[in-house]
A and B are shown apart, each in its own frame.
Chain A
Amino acid sequence: DTGVSQNPRHKITKRGQNVTFRCDPISEHNRLYWYRQTLGQGPEFLTYFQNEAQLEKSRLLSDRFSAERPKGSFSTLEIQRTEQGDSAMYLCASSLTGGPQPQHFGDGTRLSIL
């Protein structure tokens, strides 16, 4: 299967801890997106990359959140000093560039803050 892969699938941590998630996009896709989804809501945009360049971050994104895509392939999303409100599904998507392109999603990382 050459779809978008996310790890871990589930993460349980105590409030105040740091967590890091990984996303491996579809290999030929040079755009990579991070979204967050809470129960009963649609996904909410966080940030996106074209190759290794981070092109946009949501204004709602706290400075506790940081994302990288160092070699233009996989990406990591780190949350520092986690809070209860960070509990959500973190979704990664990838696409080709050039005109509207379908974004293909992984199955997400479910984060639970104790």
Chain B
Amino acid sequence: QQQVKQSPQSLIVQKGGISIINCAYENTAFDYFPWYQQFPGKGPALLIAIRPDVSEKKEGRFTISFNKSAKQFSLHIMDSQPGDSATYVCAASKGNNRLAFGKGNQVVVIP
């Protein structure tokens, strides 16, 4: 059973545009929601994370929006650059425990 679901599966964005990736989760006990960036042949690298007591968190060009009632959270990449072309994977956990991951979204930024 997939506890975390991502959409869209892939995304093509022009340089300078906004990339938006969505995740939905099932388990209301989840209280930690990170986003990871992954390049081919590499492990996931933590980008940004949020807890459910805030609705938005911004770090540089990356923003997480969190909607507790809808059980959804999204990643916004502002001013997308070709170097942002990667797979973005959302995850969720209860406390400091194992992460449940989505399948990942491939983002391609075209010049």
Chain A interfacial positions (CB closer than 8 Å to B) = 4, 6, 31, 33, 35, 40-45, 48, 56, 91, 93, 95-108, 110
Contact = CB atoms under 8 A, between A and B. Distances in A.
B42 A107 contact: yes
Interface of B: 4, 31-32, 34, 36, 41-46, 49, 51, 89, 91, 93, 95-104
Contacts of B97: 48, 56
* Residue from B4, B32, B89, B98 whose CB has the most chain A CB atoms within 10 Å: B98
A97 B103 contact: no
A27 B43 CA distance: 18
A102 B49 contact: yes
Contacts of A33: 98-99
A91 B43 contact: yes
B43 A105 contact: yes
A8 to B, nearest CB: 14
Given A42-B101, A42-B103, A107-B41, 16 more contacts: A40-B104, A41-B104, A42-B104, A43-B44, A43-B99, A45-B99, A56-B97, A56-B98, A91-B44, A93-B43, A96-B96, A100-B31, A100-B32, A102-B49, A103-B99, A105-B46
Nearest to B101: A42
Contacts of A48: 97-98
Contacts of B32: 100
A42 B21 CA distance: 15
Nearest to A56: B98
Contacts of A41: 103-104
A13 to B, nearest CB: 19
Given A43-B89, A102-B34, A97 B98 contact: no
